[in-house]
Amino acid sequence: MRHRPLLTTALTAGCALLALAGCGSSASSSAGGATSSSSASAGAPVTGGNLVFANPQDAQSLDESTVFDNNSIWIIEQITQPLFTVTSNGKGVMPWLATGYTVSKNQLAYTITLRNGVKFSNGTPMTSKDVQFTLEQTMAAAQGWGYIDSAIKSVTAPSPDTVVVNLKYKWAPILADLALFANGVVPDNYGGKTAAAFYQAPIGTGPFKFDYWHKGSGLKLIKNTNYWQSGKPYLDSVTWTDVPNDNTRQLQVTSGQAQIDQYPAWSTVSALKSTPNVALSLFPSTETTYLAFNEKVAPFQDVNVRRAISYAIDRSALVKAVLFGNGQAANSIFPPQLPYYDPNSGGLQYSVADAKAALAKSSVPKGFTTTLLLPSGNSDYATIATIVQSELKPLGINVQIQQQDPNTANENFQSGKYDMYFSLWTMDIPDPDELATFALDPTAGSKSFFTFYNNSTVVKAVHAAEVTTDTAARQADYNTAQSQAAQDAFMAFLYYSPYQYVESSNVHGFLVTPLGNYHMEDVWLSPGS
Amino acid sequence: MSAVSADPAPAPAPVPPPAVTRVRARRARWYRQPTLMTGLVLLAVIVFMCYGASLLTSFNPDTQNLEQPLLGLGQAGHLLGTDQEGRDTWARLLYGGQVDLRVAFIAVILPFILGTILGSLAGYFGGWADTVIMRIIDIVVAFPFFVLVIALVFVLGTGEKSIYIAITAIGWVSYARITRGEITVAKRQEYVLAAQSGGLSSLRIIGRHLLPNVVTQSIVYAMSDIVQDIIAIVTLSYLGLGIQPPTPDWGTMISAGQNFLTTQWQLTTIPGIAVVITGLALSLIGDGLADLLRTGGS
Amino acid sequence: MGRMSFVLRRLVLLVPTAVGVTIITFFMVHLIPGNPAVTILGQRANPSTVAALDKQLGLNQPLIEQYWLFIDRLFHGNLGQSLYYQVPVSSLITSHLPPTLWLLCYAAVLGVAISVPLATLAASRKDAVRDHVIRVVPLLGLGLPAFWFGLILQTWLGTKLRLFPVTGYGQGFTGHLHSMFLPALTVAVALCPVLIRSLRASMLGVLGAEFVTTARAKGVPAPRLLVRHVLRNAVIPAVTVLGINIGYLIGGTLIVEQVFAIPGLGSLMINAIFERDFTVIQSVALVYGVLVVLVNLLTDVAYVALDPRVRFDA
């Protein structure tokens, strides 16, 4: 099972189809029947078909106001939709259930116009009352996503197709917040049900509606015949199954029992490239893998020790051994898909000479013994661990590998009971602030990504970038933060990796955004396989 | 856990002559048993190959060669090819065998001792000791084996020590049952009654007279128990909860190689075959011993 | 002592065993480091969110109190709420029980279907070549790791030859038969060595008995002899062996369910352990415990029912 940060939004992104969505029409609507070819080359989308999506982990809940896990979120996004959504390159926001907005002079009130002709899956038309109810419910979810709407003072519905959002203070990210999946529009008053009953089978305006959920086995959504994008969705149904074993998921796709495999093991990639009937997709992502050092444990408070270790790791060897070449060495705390990424920030790269020099300057020139904590059952981490162990040995650094089950390992990491630990990050919003605060600010709840790294120059730069909207100034601040963090090697930045999916060759239109989510209304199956 | 191989109700041994003579008579016959001999020879071969690994291969099981991963059979001097990190499969198989054999053999000793002691107490003294021990046995047996083991490994952390503790906590039960069953019957024999009225202490009776005759059933069972332990260790390693990397072991090899079953099939298949053959050797030994017991003493 | 009192006595013994099982699981599960709140919150977990969720889930109360709560609910037929899914545990168990029962029964049927003919063949010609072969080959099954054998079957018969689905439970009766064949075979292969040996031994025992020699002398043809007389008597101890082993196998199916992605109790249990879903772990362990004891009881009863000579001496 993988670890992914759970600060995920449902900023659903389409591709070119977003442009079409704006026009309110899309590709051919009634094209039943066969297309000319059954191979990967496209042709017109075909309506019909049932798709099985094999996931390593089951969803947890369909309650959008409280759920945090990615799989649940990406499924909920097929059922409910927010007013705005993130663009396909993950760098901006655009209208979705809204068509436009105006801002008051004092920037405290946003008047949003709603799209016409949108219906819930039960046929009820969507109005501003539904939007008002949705936002108020999310705001009230104190244990859940309530904080995301904390800038909102009130929401009013002056007319059926207008909503006014009143803010407590000026807040530029409000549109991004409204685009969060937790603000996906649900029927007013939950259609008369209690919240708990409603979320057993939620109703929304999305392309699919809830059919059943056999926990631990499969969750099925069927086509919403009242969906507002005409001609879509193409598929009759999508079923997400829970199959933790990598090998089993792969077998399911190659034998035709499933059409999409989420996160196949990297080791199978080369075999998959030569397997008929399947295609491997590598989607650009914001995913980065790091090796974290606990600065509360000696000798990691010594910058030269951290630099030595960072220099000693051959990142291209890791990319080859773990990702089988499908990735690149990381050179900054930020990934390349993120705005304000600086390719010249100087993240340390492989150099044995520099590693030895740095260690010689440090407080433990002869080396030392330490432990590398790993979540068990993850063969990628196990591979990286053995490689790092063998690369640090010549320096006199003896690494003992300790595997714990993922839950325990994670807990120990977050409570600072570790020496070194692998961590992973994926962006949830198209703005560096989320990562910068999480990873570089020791006063935030995450204590600099649990490394206790504290550099006042970096902290100042991060705070400065939060309060200004001047892009040049922000770039300068983030450049400072990235370079300093690189020099201090508070973590070793290992590699950037894409999102890997395996699809049967008859799957078309499947796209994953850099934030990790996808649009099932764009997916269609060509007949035959 | 795999199936119980001992008979559920082993026939009680006939009235035994004094211990010494019987053992001598038995020794004269054991090498004539084909099953036993085949098993012993096979096991000897396996043990020799694993512990003589340095004679059979010049490769080191830990040396990585990231430039040449996943080589096929016989390529670049690697008899069985290499794994994902370029480590020689044949070397890992042999050195891994050392680890698995060692851990399995050691893991059987403590349950054997603990179970035999508790079983003798229950069988000889009866009464509340018997009731308490039998109830505990019922409870332990009601648990799915792997659930207990996985949970214990979580609590204790991964690694060899945890495996020993987990297997001991659950494995003593079979030995206790066997010993109790044997002693319950054997204690009614005349020579025991004689010893009791002669004033010998219970401990002496149990230790000197009862156990030596009764323990052979446990030894037979121990052979199949080692097989079950090997499978348990291999399964735990497959789940990531057993032997830790980079120590080679058959379970981790099977787990790491499973994605390549259609291309480099030997990575997963060969370690599995190693487990099966080792299991075969031990089972033959167990069967041979059981045969010996049935026909022995005549 | 009569049959009824025997059965009653065994049922009564079920109670302390069940209590013992609940105590051990409850406390062991809570000794496991890690907190379900951490799993549910994931990377968003920090001391304050975890504390809040702990309170909501009732995890911050003293263990003894949590245990009494569990037992109290149990007596009212309530197994509690899954910490991960927030639905009643009993609904999870009812939905996951059928696949596991299917697997066990199917495996038992396959095991018997393979073992009986082989054991008969072996016993009818003792010490012949085929007897030796049939005695040795199943020994391979004793040392066979279930997950490894399952993988091999899955890859070659499932993916390469496409004879069977590689995973899952299937739909409808024939669907189940088709989908569960490979996993049931994997489990059966562990049963066969013991069944074959036991059947063969008891058949040999019966073949040497007086009434058989008499029947032969009377000219009863061999096949009829085998089936009518030998098999029927030989099957009795085999039933005991089968029963005992089902008890072991109930737990052994855990791994097979993982490999073949069968949504049974085993998968539920393994996922619950990794997610620290205490309520599910406790309840499933209890269900397993009850199943094992029931199967043992049934075995004893069947043994007695088949052989009228046996009496109920404890």
Contact B143 C33 (CB under 8 A): no
Contact, B291 vs B39, CB < 8 A? no
Cα dist. B10→A1, B14, B178, B214, C46 in Å?
A: 47, 12, 9, 11, 59
Contact, B245 vs A386, CB < 8 A? yes
DSSP strand pairing (A369-375 vs A420-425)? parallel
A329 sits in which H/E element: strand A328-329
Against chain C, the chains showing at least 3 CB pairs within 8 Å are A, B
Percent pLDDT > 70 in chain C is 82
Please write the tens of the pLDDT for every residue from B48-57. Answer: 999 988 888 8
CA distance C271 to chain A (A): 8
Per-residue pLDDT band for A436 (boundaries 50, 70, 90) equals confident
Which residue is closest to C41 within chain A, CA to CA?
A68
What is the reported pTM? 0.76
CA distance B24 to chain C (A): 28
CA distance B160 to chain A (A): 12
- Which DSSP state fits C230? I
Does B255 lie at the interface with A, CB-CB under 8 angstroms?
A: yes
Contact, A424 vs A2, CB < 8 A? yes
What is the separation, in whole angstroms, between the first and last Cα of chain A?
29
Contact A244 C39 (CB under 8 A): no
Per-residue pLDDT band for A484 (boundaries 50, 70, 90) equals very high
Mean pLDDT of the region B207-232: 84
**Residue C241 in this model has a pLDDT that exceeds 80:** no
Position C43 scores a pLDDT of 55
Contact B4 C289 (CB under 8 A): no
The beta-carbon neighbor of B143 closest among C194, C201, C288 is: C288
Does A434 lie at the interface with C, CB-CB under 8 angstroms?
A: no
The beta-carbon neighbor of B283 closest among C20, C143, C247 is: C143
What φ, ψ does residue A479 adopt, rounded to 5°?
A: -65, -45
Q: Which residues of C touch B150 (CB under 8 A)?
A: 270, 273
What φ, ψ does residue A372 adopt, rounded to 5°?
A: -110, 115
Contact B85 A386 (CB under 8 A): yes
Residue type for position A236:
D
Residue type for position A427:
M
Q: Give the HSE-up count for residue C213: Cα atoms under 13 Å, Cβ half-sphere.
A: 4
**Residue A62 in this model has a pLDDT that exceeds 60:** yes
Position A7 scores a pLDDT of 32
Cα dist. A456→A126, A236, A334, A441, A492 in Å?
A: 50, 55, 19, 9, 20
Does C172 lie at the interface with B, CB-CB under 8 angstroms?
A: no
Q: Is the peptide bond before A45 cis (omega within 30 degrees of 0)?
A: no
Q: Give the HSE-up count for residue C155: Cα atoms under 13 Å, Cβ half-sphere.
A: 18
Q: Which residues of B touch C289 (CB under 8 A)?
A: 139, 142-143
**Residue A371 in this model has a pLDDT that exceeds 90:** yes
Interface pTM, i.e. ipTM: 0.76
What φ, ψ does residue A123 adopt, rounded to 5°?
A: 95, -15
The beta-carbon neighbor of B66 closest among A317, A379, A402 is: A317
Contact B260 A271 (CB under 8 A): yes
Contact C17 B268 (CB under 8 A): no
Contact C160 B262 (CB under 8 A): yes
DSSP strand pairing (A50-55 vs A237-242)? parallel
Please write the tens of the pLDDT for every residue from C11-35. Answer: 787 777 777 877 877 777 677 666 7
**Residue B292 in this model has a pLDDT that exceeds 90:** no
Please write the tens of the pLDDT for every residue from B88-112. Answer: 889 999 999 999 999 999 999 999 9
Instruction: Give the number of other CB atoms < 10 A from CB of residue A131.
Output: 27
Contact B240 A378 (CB under 8 A): yes
The CA distance from C79 to C51, in Å, is 24
Which regions of chain C does DSSP assign to beta strands (E)?
none
Does B156 lie at the interface with C, CB-CB under 8 angstroms?
A: no
- B289 is in which domain, residue-wise? 34-52+88-296
What residues in chain A have their Cβ under 8 A from chain B's Cβ atoms? 246-247, 250, 265, 267-268, 270-271, 317, 320-321, 376-379, 382-383, 385-387, 389-390, 401-405, 408
CA distance B265 to chain A (A): 12
**Residue A26 in this model has a pLDDT that exceeds 60:** no
Position A27 scores a pLDDT of 30
Determine the residue among B33, B145, B146 to mutate to test chain C binding: the one whose Cβ has the most chain C Cβ atoms within 10 Å.
Answer: B146
**Residue A32 in this model has a pLDDT that exceeds 50:** no
Contact A216 C165 (CB under 8 A): no
**Residue A239 in this model has a pLDDT that exceeds 90:** yes
Q: Which residues of B touch A376 (CB under 8 A)?
A: 158, 239-241
Contact, B107 vs B116, CB < 8 A? no
**Residue B288 in this model has a pLDDT that exceeds 80:** yes
The beta-carbon neighbor of A257 closest among C56, C165, C268 is: C165
Determine the residue among B43, B139, B259 to mutate to test chain C binding: the one whose Cβ has the most chain C Cβ atoms within 10 Å.
Answer: B139
| Chain B (262-281) residues lying within 8 Å, Cβ to Cβ, of chain C | 262, 268-269, 272, 275-280
Position A76 scores a pLDDT of 95
The beta-carbon neighbor of B64 closest among A270, A390, A402 is: A390
The answer to the question of residue B175 being in a domain is: yes
Longest dimension (CA), chain B: 77
Which residue is closest to A257 within chain C, CA to CA?
C165
> For chain B, what is the domain count?
1
By CB neighbour count within 10 A (0-12 exposed, 13-18 middle, 19+ buried), where does C145 fall?
A: buried
Which residue is closest to B256 within chain A, CA to CA?
A379
What φ, ψ does residue A15 adopt, rounded to 5°?
A: -110, -130
A269 sits in which H/E element: helix A269-273
The beta-carbon neighbor of B240 closest among A377, A383, A408 is: A377
Residues 6 or more apart whose CB falls under 8 angstroms from that of A106 comprise: none
Which residue is closest to A254 within chain B, CA to CA?
B262
Per-residue pLDDT band for A415 (boundaries 50, 70, 90) equals confident
Position C212 scores a pLDDT of 67
Residues 6 or more apart whose CB falls under 8 angstroms from that of B128 comprise: none
Which residue is closest to A316 within chain B, CA to CA?
B66
The answer to the question of residue B73 being in a domain is: no
Helix (H, G, I), strand (E, B) or coil at B25: helix
Q: Which residues of C touch B284 (CB under 8 A)?
A: 136, 139
Torsion of CA A414, A417, A422, A424, to 10 degrees: 0
What CATH number is attached to the domain comprising B258? 1.10.3720.10
The answer to the question of residue B233 being in a domain is: yes
Does B156 lie at the interface with A, CB-CB under 8 angstroms?
A: no
Does C310 lie at the interface with B, CB-CB under 8 angstroms?
A: no
Please write the tens of the pLDDT for every residue from C140-180. Answer: 888 888 889 998 898 888 877 878 888 888 888 888 889 89
Q: What are the tokens at B281?
A: 């050797």
Q: Which residues of A touch C158 (CB under 8 A)?
A: 251, 255
The beta-carbon neighbor of A385 closest among B70, B245, B255 is: B245
| Chain B (221-250) residues lying within 8 Å, Cβ to Cβ, of chain C | 224, 227, 230-231, 234-235, 238
The answer to the question of residue B24 being in a domain is: no
Inter-chain contacts counted by CB atoms under 8 A, chains A and B: 62
**Residue B22 in this model has a pLDDT that exceeds 90:** no
Position A437 scores a pLDDT of 82
Please write the tens of the pLDDT for every residue from B229-259. Answer: 998 888 888 877 788 777 888 988 888 888 7
The answer to the question of residue B26 being in a domain is: no
The answer to the question of residue B61 being in a domain is: no
Residues 6 or more apart whose CB falls under 8 angstroms from that of A29 comprise: A47, A230, A231
The answer to the question of residue B279 being in a domain is: yes
The answer to the question of residue B65 being in a domain is: no
The CA distance from B243 to B159, in Å, is 5
Position B25 scores a pLDDT of 47
